[in-house]
Structure formats: C-alpha cells, structure tokens
C-alpha cells in the first residue's frame, strides 16, 4: 500500500466523526462500504480500461487533507467576484464547505429549495436519500468511492414541477490552501416540466490541492436542464469532477464542458436517457505546458426514440496531453435512436499529444448512429493567406486557433459566463489589438 493511501485510511476514522449525516444509518453504511472499497482498490489505475490513458500516480505520493475551517480568515471575497456571475443565484463552496455568507440567493422563488448538503442531510434527509447514489455507480472507479466516503459538504437543489427559473444557478467551488482537499457532493433534482440552468465553476489559489466533486442530476419528465462546467483550477492542482444525469421520458439536457486549468484534470459526464429523451454534450479543452486533461463521456440510450449529439474540441500546446473517451451505448430495446459524436483536436506543438477513443455499442437494429474524429495541425495555407494580408505569423496562428476554439464558446447563452470563458481562451491565445467586447 502506498504512503498516501495509508495516510487516508489511517486518518479516516477521526475525520468521519465530523462528516455530515453521520446520524443517518443509510449514509453511514454507504460511507463505510465506500471506505472499504477505496482502502482495497485506491485511486484508479491505468489497468482499468476507462483510465488507461490517465495515470494518477502523483496523487499516491502525497495525502491531501480536508480544510477544517469554514472560510479562512484571509480569504479575499473581492477576488471571488471575478468568477461570480452577476445575474445568477450563486452557491459558494470554500475548501469543500458551503458558505452561506458568500452565497447569493436573494429573490429565489419560495418553492425552490437550495441549501448546503450538510443542512439538507439534517433537514431534508428523506429527499436526499431518495436520490443520493441513484445516478452514479457507487461501484465505479476509485474517485467515486473516495467521494462517497470523504465528502464534507456540497449543495442540494430541488426545483418543483412546472417551475421555470429565469436566472441560472451557479455553484462556485473554491480551494484556498496548499495541500487542501475539497471533496464535495451535489444533488440537483428537477421535477416534471421544470426548467433550469446550472453552472459549476472550479477555481483556486495558486497552490497545489485536490478537488474531487460529484454531482448527480435528475431531470423529470418533459423537464429541461442546461448545464455548464468551467474548470479553471490552479496550474498546480489535481481535479476530478463527475456529472451523472438521469433523464426521464421526454426530458431535455444540454451540457457544455470547458476545461482549462489543473496540472491533471479529469471530467466524467454520463447520462441515461429514457424514452424520447434528448441530450447534447459540448466540450472544449485547452492544454499547455505539461497539463493532462481527460474527458470521459457516456450516453446510455435505454429506451426508444432518444436523440443525442456530442461535439468536443481540444487544443494542445507545448507538452500537454489531452484525452477524449466518448462512449454511446444503445440498448436492445432503444429502437429509433438517433445519435452522433464528433471529436476534433488541434495540436500546436510537435510534443503535444492527444488520445481519442470514440465508441459505439449498438444492440438495436433500427438506429441512426455515427462518430468522427480528427487530429491535426493548423493549415499552413490558411496561415500563408493571413500573412499575405500583412498579419505576422504568430498573430495568424493565434487567430486560427482562437477561431477553432471560439465555435464552442459561442454556444454559451449566458452573457456573463460567455465573457468569463472567452477571457480564459484569450489568455491562452491573445488577439493583439482586439477588444473582448467586440467578440
């Protein structure tokens, strides 16, 4: 057993006593089973097919510790404002714990329930128990077991039937301390015919830490969810974020995944579709220096007449490495399924690398499914064309790279979020003389 794993298992009994929901029998049992699974298996290994391109051995050399204080006394709330959306309800998690003081929930409809997970386990344990662990496979990889056992807080959101929210809900994850561990669990429930926009944003101080978040979302019959994930972790951080969705009949879900930060970052986006449900998955990952960014998606068509569309783009520079594993599974009874997946990658350096693995598993015979993958470099003819218009080579390359990435940014319909993501892209591919407001 490696040193970090030993530290985690030895320190867990003392930490468990202070974790939320310890008075709930079902949760104590779930945590105990997850702890035993993690103690025996540890973090995911490249021997596991879904982790063959991503090694997390660096995590096994150092044990990260939960931050015990709610909000550090030196925390700069002003710094946080740059990431908080102006026209949105915001839920702020600092070092893995919900902060009511930093959150902004004014004007929320009385029928909508939004609170920290610790409070929900205390005041609405029945509602939490009805959904907790029902969208994610608790017997999955090691990060899921780790989250089940170690989560310290999170958020609980319940939107009743027929409720249409006119503003997004932002869940802002912040880590502030060197060696910190932020392990959070979120639960998002939309009843039938409800509609909402959900934004998860991950940021941190310029220190090394581990952020591990699992979000389960339940989208009721004919309900609609538009979800965004913006990962801007510290360049020294490790990140795992999983979103696991259950879509009822005729439910609609669109997810936009933007991965920019982290030394090593992994995103799982999984969704299960019932009859005539529809989903769209979009993603953009940008890697520089020695970053490793892994995206794993899975769409399960469980019933007939489902539709799914998936488009992911990656841009890798320097010695960065990107991974895309997209899997679409069409069950035997899921006739009339219509599904398409496309992954396009741009390598800006001879040392950059991308591993892409699209998969179709089709067990029905009356379906329309397809996938496509491209990996390449900038078109030299296009660069020459721009140079012939008095644009220097470096600027020409930045313009073409920006245009490639901006297609995904333009899909964002929330202006504040669009501007935030656009700023992250421009920081990596600056357009000299261009005002961001023009774009």
Concatenated DSSP letters for 265-330?
Answer: EEEEEEEEE-TT-EEEEEEEEEE-TT-EEEEEEEEEE-STT-EEEEEEEEEE-TT-EEEEEEEEEE
Based on the structure, what is the number of domains in the chain? 1
Among 244, 157, 250, 245, smallest CA distance to 196 is for: 157
Residues lower than pLDDT 70 in the chain: 1-3, 68-75, 431-439
> What's the count of helices (H) and strands (E) in the chain, helices before strands?
9, 20
pLDDT at 309: 98
Tokens (6 digits) for 417: 């979020």
pLDDT at 73: 57
pLDDT at 251: 98
| Strand pairing report for 155-159 and 169-175 | unpaired
pLDDT at 438: 47
Tokens (6 digits) for 252: 């609609």
Among 118, 122, 176, smallest CA distance to 151 is for: 118
Tokens (6 digits) for 21: 């929901």
DSSP classification of residue 74: T
Among 253, 242, 102, 126, smallest CA distance to 185 is for: 242
Tokens (6 digits) for 210: 């581990």
Domain of 35?
3-438
Tokens (6 digits) for 16: 């468990």
Among 205, 194, 90, 100, smallest CA distance to 153 is for: 100
Helices (H), 17-141: 25-41, 77-80, 117-123, 125-131
DSSP classification of residue 439: -
Tokens (6 digits) for 195: 């509609």
Q: pTM for this one?
A: 0.94
Q: Which helix (H) or strand (E) holds 356?
A: strand 353-362
Contact 138, 34 (CB under 8 A): yes
Compute φ and ψ for 284, nearest 5 degrees.
-140, 125
């Amino acid at each position: 057993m490696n040193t970090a794993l030993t530290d985690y298992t030895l320190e867990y009994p003392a930490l468990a006593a202070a974790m939320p929901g310890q008075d709930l029998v079902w949760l104590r049992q779930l945590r105990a089973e997850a702890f035993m699974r993690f103690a025996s298996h540890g973090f995911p290994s490249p021997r596991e097919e879904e982790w063959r391109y991503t090694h997390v051995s660096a995590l096994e050399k150092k044990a990260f510790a939960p931050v015990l204080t709610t909000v550090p006394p030196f925390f700069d709330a002003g710094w946080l404002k740059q990431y908080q959306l102006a026209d949105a309800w915001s839920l702020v998690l600092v070092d893995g714990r919900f902060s009511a003081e930093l959150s902004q929930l004014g004007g929320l409809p009385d029928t909508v329930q939004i609170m920290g997970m610790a409070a929900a386990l205390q005041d609405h344990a029945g509602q939490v128990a009805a959904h907790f662990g029902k969208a994610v496979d608790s017997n999955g990889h090691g990060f899921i077991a780790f989250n089940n056992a170690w989560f310290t807080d999170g958020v609980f959101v319940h939107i009743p039937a027929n409720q249409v929210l006119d503003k997004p809900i932002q869940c802002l994850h912040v880590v502030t301390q060197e060696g910190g561990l932020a392990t959070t669990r979120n639960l998002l429930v939309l009843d039938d015919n409800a509609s909402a926009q959900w934004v998860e944003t991950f940021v941190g101080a310029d220190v090394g830490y581990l952020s591990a978040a699992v979000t389960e979302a339940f989208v009721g019959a004919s309900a609609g969810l538009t979800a965004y994930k913006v990962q801007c972790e510290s360049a020294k951080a490790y990140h795992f974020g999983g979103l696991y969705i259950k879509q009822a009949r005729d439910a609609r879900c669109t997810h936009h995944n933007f991965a920019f930060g982290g030394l090593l970052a992994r995103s799982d986006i999984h969704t299960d579709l019932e009859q005539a449900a529809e989903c769209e998955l979009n993603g953009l990952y940008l890697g520089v220096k020695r970053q490793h960014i892994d995206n794993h998606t899975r769409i399960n068509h469980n019933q007939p007449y489902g539709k799914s569309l998936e488009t992911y783009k990656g841009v890798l520079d320097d010695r960065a490495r990107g991974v895309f594993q997209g899997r679409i599974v069409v069950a035997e009874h899921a006739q009339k399924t219509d599904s398409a997946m496309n992954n396009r990658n741009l390598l800006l350096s001879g040392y950059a690398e991308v591993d892409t693995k699209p998969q179709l598993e089709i067990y029905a015979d009356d379906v329309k499914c397809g996938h496509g993958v491209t990996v390449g470099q900038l078109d030299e003819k296009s660069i020459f064309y721009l140079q012939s218009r008095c644009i220097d080579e470096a600027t020409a390359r930045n313009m073409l790279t920006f245009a490639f990435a901006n297609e995904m940014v333009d899909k964002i319909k929330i202006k504040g979020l669009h501007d935030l993501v656009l700023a992250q892209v421009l920081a990596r591919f600056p357009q000299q003389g261009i005002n961001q407001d023009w774009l």
